[in-house]
Chains A and B, each alone.
Chain A
């Protein structure tokens, strides 16, 4: 079993929809949780960064971490075609440690 599980999708939604992306993990030592967005033929770029449990909001994006359930989520409100990309969750046990990535979810937002 992989340390981090992420549904690869693909996920296709209409413009304006609320998108929910999720990851589960098995390593209880993970404390730092990230979401990266990767456009086609580009490197991943950091979207959200949270420490431990709780919520974090940035514009149309909200990240949630539930350490008791070992479950993290990314919500995208009012989704736009420009949000079409692969979304990768990532996590680590320490601020200086290596990241473990999920498989990535391919999202398409159609006009």
Chain B
């Protein structure tokens, strides 16, 4: 089975630009998570979905961040407008219902200049 697939793997853009990160979860997984990882703050949960519905977005840093899951096989995390402090590695993870572990993608390394 293919794992969690994220795109792009790397993104470099100038501040003020819109950034869209994409995630394809593992087929059959009911939960999808977006994380951000930095040296200073470690791995932080931004938002998670259950059956395409956002359940907890309390980790989303501010209104510039938004996430959608239009169907069971695709999710996006959008930053508009982007700022240099948004530079980080963004991970997507998914898991099945029940007492199941999360499986992570290899992340998108985002640099905002």
Contact = CB atoms under 8 A, between A and B. Distances in A.
Given A34-B101, A96-B98, A98-B48, A44 B106 contact: no
A44 B99 CA distance: 18
B4 interface: yes
Interface residues on B, range: 20 to 34
Given A43-B91, A43-B107, A98-B56, A104 B33 contact: no
Contacts of A46: 101-103
A49 B31 CA distance: 18
Given A42-B106, A103-B42, A49 B48 contact: no
A26 B53 CA distance: 30
Nearest to A48: B101
B105 interface: yes
A88 B102 CA distance: 13
A34 B42 CA distance: 16
B48 A102 contact: no
Contacts of A103: 42
Contacts of A88: 42-43
Interface of A: 32, 34, 36, 41-46, 49, 51, 88, 95-96, 98-104
